[in-house]
Structure formats: structure tokens, C-alpha cells
Amino acid sequence: MKEVYTPEDIAHIDYDRDIGPPGQYPFARGHHPLMYRGKLWNIRNITGLSTPKAYNERLRYLIAQGMTAIECELDNPTFYGLEPDQPSADGHLGVCGTCLHSLKDVEEMVEGLPLDVLSFSSAPSTPELSQAYILTAMKHGFDIGKLRGLALIPQFYLFNTCIPDQEYITFVNGHTSTIFRWSNDFLEYICRNLFKWNGWYSSGYDLREAFCDAIQEIAYTIAIRNETLREMVRRGVDISVAAQRFMPVLNVNQDFFEEIAKFRAARKVWAETLKRDFGVTDPNALCLRFHANVAGSSFTRQQPLVNLMRGSLSCLAGVLGGALGIQVPSYDEAWATPSEDAATLAVRTQQIVRYESGVPRVVDPMAGSYYVESLTNEMAQRIEAEVNRIEKLGGWLEAMRTGWVKNELEKSQIALQGKIESGEKTVIGVNRFTIPLEEDFKPKRYAPDVSKEVEPYLAEYVEWRDKKRDKEKVKRALENLRHIAEKTDDSLVPPVFKALEADATFAEIRGVLRMVDGLEYDWAGEREYPF
């Protein structure tokens, strides 16, 4: 990085070839000619409270405060596909997210919400949650073709790179798993049926939270896109249709100008590689649309009120970078489930940028900056070089299977932690400008004892699961799913819909698909197949 940038630093850049007008190839300046003058970005703040009922109440409150989209955070038992009453779930139920274990839970979570207006997404999950949401919308008479949502499909990156003990989600004995097949089936279903729904086949956000750098974040996202596109084309999906359904979630970190340039470079490389490597010509398919999460890892437990400034700065970077939606964490997330006041301030942060800053009045106001244009061009070159490096390894799945990606992330983690410990990278309140713990601000906790909140939910759930369901109906649906998975190449989406309608639990669906791969029903080894 230079001290001063001048016209000489961008003399080699041709405006029409390398930048282009907003909404035109190669889309460096944004996905739409009018950008936020035409439509403001979604306020999609992540939320997750103990039980479906409590979460529904918080959603209603935040929507009334101006939140425009749902992003559901899950507790660990839900994320890991556990039943809420098994030993591994003890102490984790309703902590750091909502417990969702069945279609019944999802119905309670969204009761009374305008599903035809809101856009829905969740934390990384196998497709059962999105399928349960779709069934709920259909039950209430909504046209699924008009539903707006984002399905984060983490099988392409998360479990084999960031989450221990969950590699079976992607690979079993060196081969892609049945659950991975189901995820591809669901992505194909999105392409063919949900015309306003996008697939978060990749979360550069999570990879960045695993401490890859900005270049790796975008390069890994594009490498995963390449792998997914090839699979959708193999299945007969039109490549332009598939490309339009891909909307990754990216990370907004603390390096203000780097993040802005990263987003501009990402759109440019995205479009250029789609056109050159896949022959895509439809402008709507070439254009990268992305959601941006402000980096939760940048929010510290020390001096938590300082996180308000971190969130504001990163939100502004996301807007100047052209995100379609932004999530700002609550300042108290490092302490506990966000309080109502903290969650409200996270929404207000975005509203200040939206309505008071004046930033949305002009499309891509950073364009023409010697520094930003030079940095955008440099990052685009480095991103493409990293993508090519992965392709030479055999593509993303091969890079994951061999452990290459995990090794690269570990090297980045060690390097970043070394910079923080040495003081080369400043983190206010952690390694500089610290104050004694006893003098630090302590946020008001939302719920000092979450276990008391989830006790009634757990008792009701177990009674419903063990005594009130038609178990023969559940068994038939699960055995049908297992038969189709084992004996046919048919899509697993329809039999999963039927299993959910029959009241199969999320854990039962995952467990049956594990059995198809020759694995034990419960990855934690605590439960037997109940039928």
C-alpha cells in the first residue's frame, strides 16, 4: 500500500473495459443503474431467541422497528441435528439462537408474519428448515413462486472446513454424502420453482470468520460457485437461471477501504469469469448480488459499547460497496443473546445510514478515487489468481476433500492471532486502550437463565414427539425417504416435504440420510433409530 495515490496509479485502467457504468458489465460500480436511489438495501439483522414463541415476539417487535427481512440464528442442537432432549443438547438448548426441531416449531416461529412481504433466511442449515418454511407458507395460502428468501446451503464449505465432527455432512469415506446430494437437490428445486428465492450456496462470511483474508473470502466463494454451477448444468438447469439464483453472503470487516474495494472487485471477477469460463451472456446472470454481514468476530467482549462504532463503520462500508442487504450485530453479542435495546440499536444503525447520512443519494460515490480504483483492480487480479490456484487443484470439492482449504484457514488463523498478540494489529480494548475488567461496562442481559425459558418448550416437544404423533405415519414417510435415497436417483426434496408433513423431526430426517451412507443414526451415538 502506498502513502499517496495519483492519476498514474489508475492510468492503465480503461473505464469502459475495467469499471463500466453502474448496472453494466463488469458491474464494478454496482448491480443496478440506480442502486439505492431505486431500492434501499434490506435491513436483515440476525435474530434468535430461545424458543419459537419468544423468537416470534422478538421478530414482531423488530419488524415494527423497521427491520425488513428475517435472518434466523439457530441454537447448537438445531444446527448439529440433535434432538433437544439428548445428552449432547443439555445446556445448549435455546442458547445463542432459537431451537427449531420440527415443522410445528417453524409454524410457531412465523405465526402472524407477512411471509409474502418479508425475505427469509437462516443461519447455515441443511435444507429441512427452508423446506419447513416453504410448507408453512403454502399452508397459509402464500404463492411459493412469490416467496422471497435465501437458503444458506453450507454443505459446500462449512462442515468440512470450520466445524469439527460434522464432516459427514459433505463427505463419507471420501465421497460426497447423501445429505450433500439432498442439498444439491434443494438448490435445483430453488432454480426450477422458487423464482424469487436465492441459494446461499456459499458463505464467504463464515469463511472470513474462520479468519481467511479478504482475497481468500471472495476467491473461495467463486470457486464454490464454479463447482455448484457445473453440478446444476449436469442436472439440466439452464446456466443463466442457476447463476441468477446464487446470492452469497459476504463479510464486512474493519478495514474500511479494503472492504469497499473487495466488493467492487468481487462483482468484476464474478462477471468476467462467468462470461469467459461458462459462456454466460445474460446481464442478469452475470451480475453478483450479495448480502453482507458485519463481522461478528470484530465485536469484542471488552468495552462492548465500542462495538456500536465498529458496526456503524462496517455498515457504511457495506453500503458503499453495494450490498443488497446488511446485517449489523448487536453490541452485546459477545456477552449474551442480544437484549431488546441492543437489537433495536443495531436496526437504528442501518436507519441512520439509510435516512440521515445522505450516502444513498449518489450511486457508487467511491468511483474515481485513485486509491479505491487502484485497490479494486489489484484485488481483482489477486482474487482471480487464487481462484485459478484452486481450479488447478481439481476444484473446490477436491480442495476440501484433501484438507487443503482447512490447512489454508489454519495458516490464516495463526497469522492473524500472531498480529493481535504482537500488537501489529490493534484491537481497541483488547491489546490497546484497555481498562480494568471491574471498571468495564456490563450489558443488560436478555435472559439470565435461558434454561427456565426452554423447560416448558422441551416438555411440550417431548410429549408431542413421543405421544401425540401418528408414529406409523412418521415411519412410512421416513422409510419412503430412505428407499428413494438408497434405490433411486430421484430428488430428495419431495420425500423430505412428505416427511415434514408427517411430523418427522429434523433430527430424524438427518439420521435416516446418515443411515443411507452406512453411518449410525445419531452422529453423537446417543440415540437409536426410533422406528
Domains and CATH numbers, the chain: 24-439 (3.20.20.240)
Segment of 66-75, 113-122, 260-269, 330-339 carrying the highest mean pLDDT: 260-269
pLDDT tens digits, 212-246:
999 999 999 999 999 999 999 999 999 999 999 88
**pLDDT at site 95:** 87
Lowest mean pLDDT among 125-129, 211-215, 416-420, 497-501: 125-129
- Residue position matching grid coordinates 405415519: 473
pLDDT tens digits, 178-197:
998 999 999 999 999 988 88
pLDDT tens digits, 468-479:
999 999 999 999
- Residue position matching grid coordinates 438495501: 41
pLDDT tens digits, 78-108:
988 999 999 999 999 998 889 999 999 999 9
**pLDDT at site 156:** 60
**pLDDT at site 154:** 63
If pLDDT is split at 50, 70 and 90, which confidence band does 336 have? confident
Q: Grid coordinates standing for 531?
A: 422406528
Lowest mean pLDDT among 244-253, 359-368, 422-431: 244-253
Cis peptide before 114 (omega within 30 of 0): no
pLDDT tens digits, 245-297:
888 999 999 999 999 999 999 999 999 999 999 999 999 999 999 999 999 99
Q: How many CB atoms lie within 10 A of CB 39?
A: 11
Asked if residue 136 has pLDDT above 70, the reply is yes
Mean pLDDT of the 167-187 span: 84
Strand partners, 292: 250, 326
Name residues whose C-beta falls within 8 Å of residue 249's C-beta, 6 or more positions apart in sequence. 150, 152, 200, 202, 203, 204, 205, 290, 291, 292, 293
**pLDDT at site 157:** 57
